[in-house]
A and B are shown apart, each in its own frame.
Chain A
Amino acid sequence: MQRKERQLVVFTLGKEEYGVDILQVQEIKRLTEITRVPNAPPFVEGVINLRGNIIPVIDLHKRFGLGAFEPGPESRIVIVTVRDITLGIMVDSVSEVLTLEEAAIAPPPPLVAGIEASFLEGIGRLDDRLLILLNMDRILGLEEVAAAQEFQNKAAEAGAGR
């Protein structure tokens, strides 16, 4: 029988450990200079230069209401691609890549570490460790972005049909 497993990139925010699916992770970068974007959503820290491409960077501390991000020597930017959109998330450290059986993932309780349940995909258990699995789609509001995109396309079509 085939066992279903998932590979996760594990990182920390504050005291908690989090995981994102390794298939969504492009690379892990040291902190670089981030250019602030005025009038962007508050959790958008700014944009960086990733080999000639402009990539937005998200502050998950702010998104989760965990206070301000404090850059330290272990701080990293994890570059993820979700729904064809590439962006960076700032984390306090990246610890490891590990494999978790699907069976070890439980649905999220209503509130974990002060984070809204809708941002979470589940809680993973590995020995005595608890991993918080993130639902990047929700966190980034990409459903809304996709919807907005569709709306814009329709509007453009309507405009062209004049």
Chain B
Amino acid sequence: MNDSARYREVFFAEAEEHLQELNEGLLTLEKDPAAKDAVNTVFRAAHTIKGMAATMGFQTITTLTHRLEDVLDRVRSGTLSVTPELSDLLFRAVDRLEELLGAAQAGNEPPAASLEDILPELSRWAGMSEAPKLPQTNEASSAATDLSAYEARVIQEAGPQGFQAFFLTVYLAPDCIMKGVRAFLVFKKLEGKGEVLRAEPPVEDLEEEKFGTSFRLLFLTRETPAALEALLNGVSDVTKVEVRPVVLKTPEEARTPDVAPSRRENREEKQRHLSTQTVRIDIHRLDSLMNLVGELVITKTRLEQLLSGSSPEVEETLKALTRVAGGLQDAVMKARMVPLAQVFSRFPRMVRDLARELGRQVEFVIEGEDTELDRSVIDEIGDPLVHLLRNAVDHGIEPPAERERRGKEPTGHVRLSACYEGNHVLIAVEDDGEGIDCQAVLAKAEERGLITAQEAKTMSEKEIYRLLFLPGFSTAARITDVSGRGVGLDVVQNKIESLGGSVEVTSRPGQGTRFAIRLPLTLAIIQALLVKSGTETYALPLENVEEIQVVRTADLKKVRGRDVLLLRGEVVPLVNLRALLGGETAGEGEEEEVPVVVIRSGERAGLVVDGLVGQREIVIKSLGRFLGNVPGIGGATILGDGRVVLILDTGGVLALAEGRMDRRRMAS
């Protein structure tokens, strides 16, 4: 990648961050027009984008952000207050900015004339006449060099008279006494040979000896560098003189992004980078690192088995290897973790726009955005969450009048929260809207032929909610372009399940709905429980295992023809793994006791297995394209001895057991 391409990339990545700041800040300002911090943030973001865009030569973006900055400056100084009208305009300007950035990234920034619709309005708020101001002195070019605008001009003007500027660095002997006098002598020598434009440190400090063993002068002269060097070396105690000519940058050069937009921003950047030092890494590099670590874990396990029972030294070394491999794995996993804020941050704006569009009053709260998830999950989770949030605002929250009629406050609440829960992350979308009408759901399902009237009578609340996730099911009486046309929660569920997670709905009529998404913290390497089914071994993701019970066969009960287990007063349906998956029996007759693994994937069930092998760390591998999706199987893994063991997909296993797969297929 060449330099300019890399700077472009950095520019767009940073511009995106500043856009986000703009959006967030404006949202805060809309709620609290007096929020000083928000004003400052917004102003700074606009200012930074302006500076960077000017450096990169994006004219239109510079023009727009410049005007935006003018308006924000008036807000900051208190001469303008944020009215709803102004905040709408500001949001529009930010949207335009986002468009412009997108276009510029694609390589076709529109001309400044395309801003006709928004620029005059911004100018009006900025308190200017319609005529656009002449561009201010080119900040980027003057600030970009080491010279002040004044110095640059003097040097430039003196050029034709044969004057050339130099930076003179004068080094004094470390044991030099009376440094001030030496400095004075240096000035004395230079007198008459030209003009000292600047001294670093300033002359006063030099006189008072407030400097180390060297100082620097900006000197304008007709002398040659050699002559200057000879001249100053004549001063006693001067050990070395460095003479560097000053080259003025042409405006063209000044625009090349090898220098930061401005010194001030540069300093801000540095300060920010001190607090969090980050490197942007291509996700594919992390992926290949991840794969290598996976192979390492497998090889390590194999090695352990091959060498088990060898000498204590070998055991000791193996233990060390295990520790290192574990540490490496953790480190790579952590490197892949990204806070949910990356996804969440765009939602406040979306919810606000949506609420306006639909005439709802919504207070949107986000909690736990610091919760981290694997990068690959973060990338995928956005769409499902957008869907659920839209549902909440569109179908959940009632119009203000309706809410008042029901005795609720007119403003509805939508809460998006995330937290850790053991080895996974729980993301919940809650609203205090009208809740799910079970009767309406049943009626719709019957109408669509998803269930029979008979089934409708016997369905539990949970089962009814599950109907919502069937393909083609949509409870909204109205079709809005907000919540789509029937492509609905089934898409959400599929996506979440493909990430190894699950979705659960709970609702109270008239009081609200809650969608809870559980996602594994990390993918690729998981903790698994190995179980026996006949002669075969299967792996169960540990995150789906709630507990393990050893149950006397005599204690198993039948309810309506199904085997169930009574677990602390709760009825848990039982599934016999071998009956479900086929395969040979291990040979022995009826057992007195059977191990039951209580699994959860949306709902609970007890898996009756033929034996427990133990807990292992496994690397998930795909079964490949040829086999594609095998019901109940989530993938495969290779054990330390090279054997292949299939990983059970608990959701799929339960679906198989209930014949839900058949019902799904019928529905689609």
A residues adjacent to B (C-beta < 8 A): 33, 35-40, 44, 46-49, 52-56, 84-87, 140, 142, 145, 148-149, 158-160, 162
**Residue numbers in B under 8 Å from A140 (CB-CB):** 626
Please state if A35 and B645 are interface contacts (CB–CB under 8 Å): yes
* Beta-carbon contact of B628 and A145 below 8 Å: yes
Are B623 and A47 in touch, CB under 8 angstroms? yes
Decide yes or no whether B405 CB sits under 8 A from chain A: no
Q: For B383, B581, B624, B632, which residue has the most chain A Cβ atoms within 10 angstroms? A: B624
Instruction: Name B's A-contacting residues (CB within 8 A).
Output: 295, 298, 383, 387, 484, 487, 491, 494, 536, 580-583, 621-628, 630-633, 636, 638, 642-646, 656
- Closest A residue to B636 by beta carbon equals A54
In the complex, what's the smallest C-beta–C-beta distance from A153 to chain B, in angstroms? 12
Contacts of B582 in A (CB 8 A): 38
B626: A residues at CB distance < 8 A? 56, 85, 87, 140, 142, 145
30 contacts between A and B (CB under 8 A): A35-B536, A35-B644, A35-B645, A35-B646, A36-B583, A37-B627, A37-B633, A38-B582, A38-B630, A38-B632, A39-B630, A39-B632, A39-B633, A39-B656, A40-B627, A47-B646, A49-B643, A52-B298, A54-B623, A54-B624, A54-B636, A54-B638, A84-B625, A142-B626, A145-B625, A145-B628, A159-B487, A160-B383, A162-B387, A162-B487
Q: B632 to chain A: which residues have CB within 8 Å?
A: 38-39
Distance (whole angstroms) from the CB of A154 to the closest CB of chain B: 14
Q: How far is the CB of B472 from chain A (nearest CB, A)?
A: 13
List A contacts of B623 (CB < 8 A): 37, 47, 54, 56
The list of the 6 closest CB pairs from A to B, nearest first, reads A38-B581, A35-B644, A54-B636, A85-B626, A49-B644, A54-B621
Docked-complex contact B638 and A52, CB < 8 angstroms? yes
Chain A residues with Cβ under 8 A from B624's Cβ?
A: 54-56, 85-86
A148 to B295, CA, bound (A): 31
Would you give the shortest CB distance from A47 to chain B, in whole angstroms?
A: 5
Q: Min CB distance, A159 to chain B, in Å?
A: 5
The A interface, classified by DSSP as helix, strand, loop or mixed, is mixed
Q: What's the A-B contact tally at a CB cutoff of 8 Å? A: 82
Instruction: Establish whether residues B625 and A40, one from each chain, have CB atoms under 8 Å apart when the complex forms.
Output: no
Q: State the CA gap A55–B627 with chains docked (Å).
A: 10
Q: How close is B659's CB to chain A, nearest CB, in angstroms?
A: 13
Most chain A C-beta atoms within 10 Å of own C-beta, residue among B387, B626, B630, B631 = B626
Residues of A within 8 A of B643 (CB): 33, 35, 49
B621→A85 contact, CB < 8 A: no
Please measure, in the bound complex, the distance between the C-alpha atom of A160 and the C-alpha atom of B625, giving whole angstroms. 21
> Which of A52, A84, A158 gathers most chain B CB within 10 Å?
A52
Which residue on B lies nearest to A160, using beta carbons? B383
Query: What residues of A have a CB within 8 angstroms of the CB of B642 in the complex?
Result: 49
Please give the distance in Å from A124's CB to the nearest CB on chain B. 27
A148 to B628: give the CA distance in the assembly, Å: 9
| Chain A residues with CB below 8 A from B622, complex form | 54
Q: Name the distance in Å between A31's Cβ and chain B's nearest Cβ.
A: 14
From B580, B581, B644, A54 is in contact (CB under 8 Å) with B644
User: Bound complex: CA of A53 vs CA of B583, how far in Å?
Assistant: 24
B644, A162: Cβ atoms closer than 8 Å: no
Q: Which residues of A contact B387 (CB under 8 A)?
A: 162
Task: Name the CB-closest residue of A to B291.
Answer: A52
Give, as a whole number of angstroms, the nearest-CB distance from B61 to chain A.
29
| Chain B residue at smallest Cβ distance from A48 | B644
B-side contacts of A85, CB under 8 Å = 624-626
Most central of B487, B536, B643, B644 by chain A CB within 10 Å: B644
What are the residues of chain A within 8 A of B636 when measuring CB–CB? 35, 47, 54
Partner of A39, one of B536, B625, B631, B638: B631
Q: Are A38 and B644 in contact (CB under 8 A)?
A: no
CA A61 to CA B420, docked complex, whole Å: 51
With A85-B625, A86-B624 already in contact, 17 other A-B pairs whose C-beta atoms are closer than 8 Å: A35-B536, A35-B643, A35-B645, A36-B583, A37-B623, A38-B582, A39-B630, A39-B632, A52-B295, A54-B621, A54-B636, A54-B644, A56-B627, A85-B624, A145-B628, A158-B487, A162-B383
Q: Chain B residue with minimal CB distance to A161?
A: B487
Distance of A32 from chain B, by nearest CB (Å): 8
> In the bound complex, how far is the Cα of B484 from the Cα of A86, in angstroms?
40
CA distance A56 to B298 in the complex (A): 20
Q: Evaluate contact between B625 and A49: CB separation under 8 angstroms.
A: no
Contacts of A158 in B (CB 8 A): 487
Query: Which residue of A has the minimal Cβ distance to B631?
Result: A39
Cα A140 to Cα B626 in complex, Å, equals 9
- B485 to chain A: closest residue by CB: A162
Given contacts A36-B536, A54-B624, contact A159 B491 (CB under 8 A): yes
In the complex, chain B residues whose CB is within 8 Å of the CB of A49 = 638, 642-644
Q: How far is the CB of B376 from chain A (nearest CB, A)?
A: 16
Residues of A within 8 A of B645 (CB): 35
The answer on a CB contact under 8 Å between A38 and B583 is yes
In the assembled complex, the Cα of A35 lies from the Cα of B656 at a distance in Å of 20
Give Cα A47 to B637, complex, Å: 11
> A49 CB to closest chain B CB, in angstroms?
5
B491 and A47 form a contact (CB under 8 A): no
The residue in chain A whose Cβ has the minimal distance to the Cβ of B632 is: A39
Which A residues are in CB contact (< 8 Å) with B295? Answer: 52
Chain B residues whose C-beta falls within 8 Å of the C-beta of A84 in the assembled complex: 625
Q: Cα distance A143–B536 when bound, in Å?
A: 32
Complex: how many Å from CA A140 to CA B633?
Answer: 21
Look across to chain B and name the residue whose beta carbon is closest to the beta carbon of A34.
Answer: B644
> CA–CA, A48 to B487, complex, Å?
39
**Which residues of the partner chain A approach B581 to less than 8 Å between Cβ atoms?**
38-39
- Bound CA span A41–B487, Å: 31
Q: A38-B581, A40-B627, A52-B298 are in contact. Are A162 and B633 (CB under 8 A)?
A: no
* Interfacial chain B residues near A86, Cβ < 8 Å: 624
| Complex interface: chain B residues within 8 A of A162 (CB) | 383, 387, 484, 487, 491
CB-based nearest A residue for B629: A152
